[in-house]
Amino acid sequence: MSSAETATADCKQAGAAADSRTFKLTVAYDGTRYAGWQVQPKRETIQAALERAIAQVCRERVRVTGSGRTDSGVHAIGQVASFSLTAWRAGAADLTRALNSKLPADISVRQTEDAVADFHAIRDAIGKRYRYQLRVGGNRDAFDYRYRWHLAGPIDLDAMRQAAAAIRGRQDFASFQAAGSDRKTTVRDIRDLVLSEQDGVGQGEESPGRLLAIEVEADGFLYNMVRNIVGTLVEVGRGKRSPDWVGEVIAARDRRVGGPTAPGHGLCLLSVDYPPEVLLSSSEPSRCE
């Protein structure tokens, strides 16, 4: 893509009427190389890479707001971010192409859409879905170690499923919030929590062990909430705790009662939901460019 020149041509000349345009960006990334989403001094982050790409494409320094800050090593297939530009005059799809031509290969913009002027990726989010991937037993895998927590095993998946029943619905999930967090409310509505066995064999190990996935959807998540849920379910799967214990953990409203925090690299932000009104009605139909 030789969009270096076209990109510049797509930016208004300095002095042109500065009517700001707000965009909704859907972005995928392999978080392995990054110190998480949020800009940090001296460490490379997803947000910093995106802001640099925007500055290169349109000579405009803007702040990009992510729907949430993913931690170091955490991946995303459908992270959403909002930002505004005054100088972009071409279509939103052209902005996707221009940004991808500047971004490193492990970050890819999947879609750029015109949003209403006050669209805000955190405030307007109405739901999120995460997937946590595990590999139980089997050999090490030189390919998928970046995307799975590898446990020695064995794991009792049925016991984990029984335990998971207690985690669904609208409840106070203070026990799954990272210690030291300070949210107004720790009540969240977990709409879906599914444990499944995956059968893909990665890049072809003969003894891959069991590949498990835990998907969780909620109206919102507390800091480290998915990783703490996974760490707690794994305690049950390993037989260290009974399935009933998870109800006690939730009732305690105390992070110290639950299992350990599962490592970040098994986690992937699958999607963030917004009401359709956040998009400009004149926008192209929602599709992946």
- Reported as type and span, the H/E element at residue 4 is helix 3-9
Q: Rounded to whole angstroms, what are the CA distances from 40 to 20, 45, 81, 102?
A: 27, 7, 17, 20
Q: Which residue, 106 or 156, has its beta carbon nearer to a second copy? A: 106
For a second copy, the closer of residues 77 and 157 by Cβ is: 77
- 71 as an active site residue: the answer is yes
Find the shortest distance in angstroms from Cβ 107 to a second copy.
6
Residue 97 CB, nearest distance to a second copy (Å)?
10
Q: Which is nearer to a second copy, 205 or 248 (CB)?
A: 205
- Nearer CB in complex with a second copy: 66/78: 78
Residue whose structure tokens are 């998946």: 157
**Shortest approach of a second copy to residue 141 CB, angstroms?**
7
- Please say whether the beta carbons of 51 and 39 come within 8 A: yes
**Which candidate, 118, 116, 96, places its Cα nearest to that of 108?**
96
Q: What distance in Å separates the CA atoms of residue 205 and residue 248, rounded to the nearest whole number? A: 39
To a second copy, the closest distance from the beta carbon of 7 in angstroms equals 16
- The contacts of residue 176 (CB under 8 Å, 6+ apart) are 222, 224, 225, 228, 229, 232, 250, 255, 258
Question: Using CA atoms, how far apart are residues 235 and 155, in angstroms rounded to an integer?
Answer: 9
Residues that bind a second copy (CB under 8 A): 28-30, 75, 77-78, 100, 105-108, 110, 139-143, 145-147, 200, 203-207, 268, 270, 287-289
Which of the residues 10, 30, 71, 114 is marked catalytic? 71
- Judged by beta carbon, residue 78 or residue 237, the one nearer a second copy is 78
Query: Is the bond into 263 cis (omega within 30 degrees of 0)?
Result: no
CB–CB of 66/107 below 8 Å? no
Q: Minimum Å distance from CB 41 to a second copy?
A: 24
Angle between helix axes 157-164 and 225-237 (nearest 10 degrees) is 130
Catalytically annotated residues: 71
